[in-house]
Amino acid sequence: MVQSASDVVTEVDFQLEVWGEPCPYPVVATLDALKQMQSGETLEVVTDCLQSINNIPTDAKRHGHQVLEVEQQGPQVRVVIRKA
């Protein structure tokens, strides 16, 4: 489920956790967090809102950022994004 092995990072610059929140808050929080970061920095979003798998990666890309990793493990989703 990992997008591309060469893009996978083990360390990230920022981490965002969103627990128990319904849509659209996880994706809104992600885009807000990216706004606070510098270009080139990486963000790891971890959430238990499964729907996020349909929106965080798509929206991050559409807003110009690079999605490095998408992973779903049971009820948790991880998305790693590099800010454009």
Which positions are catalytic?
23
| Contact partners, residue 12, CB within 8 Å, separation at least 6 | 42, 43, 44, 80
Contact flag: residue 74 with another protein (CB under 8 A): yes
CA distance 4 to 78: 14
Q: How far apart are the first and last CA of the chain?
A: 23
Contact flag: residue 16 with another protein (CB under 8 A): yes
Contact flag: residue 81 with another protein (CB under 8 A): no
Cβ contact 46:15 at 8 Å: yes
Contact flag: residue 7 with another protein (CB under 8 A): no
Contact flag: residue 12 with another protein (CB under 8 A): yes
Q: What are phi and psi of 80, to 5 degrees?
A: -110, 130
In the bound complex, what is the minimum distance in angstroms from residue 66's beta carbon to another protein?
13
Which residues lie near another protein (CB under 8 A)? 1, 3, 9-25, 27-29, 31-33, 36, 42, 44, 46, 48-51, 53-55, 57-59, 62-63, 70-76, 78, 80
